[in-house]
Structure 1
């Protein structure tokens, strides 16, 4: 029969199921109506609608007490499960963040330390959110953000080179080995990131501005590799202040090297981003304090 086709089967209303469960639990329509903040006639009508949908009598109405029929017992078992699943779904959806993944892009020197503390605090507040963190060169992170692969990105860029939600000046320092300094060698050995990496042009321009020769002695795409190479005396480099370790010495103006203030840290997210994405962006912003230029 067409009426039995799956596409035409009636859907049981949870409100009706809740009514019959309450009647069965309370034993009378009057008590059930009071618990449901409804009227006895309304509750009775809901049970009658269920009986019409089920095609069976579901309750035996005695003079003092109402009891479920065999069909009623069957329906009540399913009704309780359906209502429990409804409650479970509501709890899972609380906060509207179920199953949400926030994709964050960070330069390598931001992975760990204070950033991890911020992410951990955010995760404790939103345990149902999955954080997916990608680290790498800022140019790659910016490209990933532009492609839509990232929801939030912290990138290093030439000052004011693109619009950002907020930006801060990057504090850079010239560093040398504390044990085996290289600054007085000729030509000056440089430890740098690969071509197109930030700081590289700043380094060579500064050395040439002093009228000194230079050579690339060590190139690495890894921040830890750059740090180790400088510490072991392979050359000098230009790195963020946060990347300076006890094995390095910071070169002051006495070395003749000028301060470099050409790089910003920029925070990127879309105006239409989810509210939790914006909340995480605000938490990251607080790490840097008041936005810069």
Structure 2
């Protein structure tokens, strides 16, 4: 009887013995297994006998033509394979081979679909060792996260030349109203806007006040899809990138009296010390934007 304060002797199963068992079971032959292990048949046989002694069970049925695991041998094989796999993973981790490079990318919401996600999916397939973490949101929030060191590469919208960037592209802006139920002539003018501190919000308010029109915020959303739907359904007018205009929107031109909004650009920023994989991703983003809208 083992007393509570005493522990029974534990058997330690060496990986070398378990590897011999797995190889013999997979090959169905001691001779073939010995060749695969770069060993001799007698050495492999000795390892199997030692493992069976430790286990207290016969693990292999040695037939005339082949070798098969016993019932308990099948159970031991399952554990042996997992232990060998864990050992392999640990070796890769410590050698650096299995450590994935993490790239933290931030993009505006209107870039979080379409060509952008297709490009990111292709990048992930061709760079399996890279762990890609993508965040979408308002440009101001993305820039603040970048400044805090939480993002490595960002694509944001900003005032032209307000911040030095790796690459920049003009971002055409459009005033939009609903085709089915327009709101421009209402008094006060209902505005569909991003939350306070959103880039286009102040532009809209300043432009409406410059016309001497009264205004009110009728709908606020941090979601581009929410803004698009609210305008389409007649909740108010808004200011959107040309890429975000849908078939349910009416673009308000000069005849509306609303001034053109210029000076907005797309800017790509990344840190100076960047992994080669992250630089490759930044290069793909640049080529995509140079070819047209996302």
Same fold (TM over 0.5): yes
Aligned match of 1:211:
212
| Per-residue deviation, 1:115 | 0.7
Provide Cα deviations, 1:95-133, integer angstroms capped at 9, x if missing partner: x78412211111111110111121122122112322111
- Judged with a 3 Å threshold, the aligned counterparts in structure 2 of structure 1 residues 189 and 70 are, in CA distance, closer, same or farther, namely closer
SS at match of 2:199: coil
SS at match of 1:246: coil
1:184 aligns with 2:185: yes
Aligned match of 1:13:
none
Provide Cα deviations, 1:25-48, integer angstroms capped at 9, x if missing partner: 69xxxxx9xxxxxxxxxxxxxxxx
Query: For the residues of structure 2 that align with 1:142 and 1:258, how far apart are their CA atoms?
Result: 28
1:107 aligns with 2:108: yes
- Judged with a 3 Å threshold, the aligned counterparts in structure 2 of structure 1 residues 290 and 161 are, in CA distance, closer, same or farther, namely farther
Query: For the residues of structure 1 that align with 2:222 and 2:109, how far apart are their CA atoms?
Result: 10
- Judged with a 3 Å threshold, the aligned counterparts in structure 2 of structure 1 residues 89 and 195 are, in CA distance, closer, same or farther, namely closer
1:260 aligns with 2:255: no
Query: For the residues of structure 2 that align with 1:228 and 1:175, how far apart are their CA atoms?
Result: 12
SS at match of 1:195: coil
Aligned pairs for 1:139-150 within 5 A: 139-150=140-151
Query: For the residues of structure 2 that align with 1:202 and 1:269, how far apart are their CA atoms?
Result: 27
Query: For the residues of structure 2 that align with 1:71 and 1:184, how far apart are their CA atoms?
Result: 89
Aligned match of 1:232:
233
Query: For the residues of structure 2 that align with 1:25 and 1:105, how far apart are their CA atoms?
Result: 52
The ranges of structure 1 where at least 4 consecutive aligned residues each deviate by more than 3 angstroms after the TM superposition are 67-74
Query: For the residues of structure 1 that align with 2:216 and 2:203, how far apart are their CA atoms?
Result: 14
Query: For the residues of structure 2 that align with 1:171 and 1:195, how far apart are their CA atoms?
Result: 22
Asked if the contact 2:92–2:98 (Cα under 8 Å) also holds between the matched residues in 1, the reply is no
Asked if the contact 1:97–1:129 (Cα under 8 Å) also holds between the matched residues in 2, the reply is no
SS at match of 1:196: coil
| Per-residue deviation, 1:72 | 11
Asked if the contact 2:171–2:241 (Cα under 8 Å) also holds between the matched residues in 1, the reply is yes
| Per-residue deviation, 1:238 | 0.1
Query: For the residues of structure 2 that align with 1:257 and 1:268, how far apart are their CA atoms?
Result: 32
| Per-residue deviation, 1:209 | 2.1
Asked if the contact 1:107–1:138 (Cα under 8 Å) also holds between the matched residues in 2, the reply is yes
Count of residue pairs the alignment pairs up? 221
Q: TM-score when scaled to structure 2?
A: 0.67
Q: Out of 241-250 and 175-184, give the one that drifted further.
A: 241-250
SS at match of 1:167: strand
- Judged with a 3 Å threshold, the aligned counterparts in structure 2 of structure 1 residues 242 and 71 are, in CA distance, closer, same or farther, namely closer
Asked if the contact 1:108–1:223 (Cα under 8 Å) also holds between the matched residues in 2, the reply is yes
SS at match of 1:199: helix
Provide Cα deviations, 1:223-243, integer angstroms capped at 9, x if missing partner: 111111111111100011121
SS at match of 2:100: coil
Aligned pairs for 1:9-88 within 5 A: 70=43
SS at match of 1:112: coil
Aligned match of 1:132:
133
Aligned pairs for 1:82-101 within 5 A: 89=92, 98-101=99-102
Q: TM-score when scaled to structure 1?
A: 0.67
Aligned match of 1:285:
286
Provide Cα deviations, 1:155-182, integer angstroms capped at 9, x if missing partner: 1112111111111111211100010001
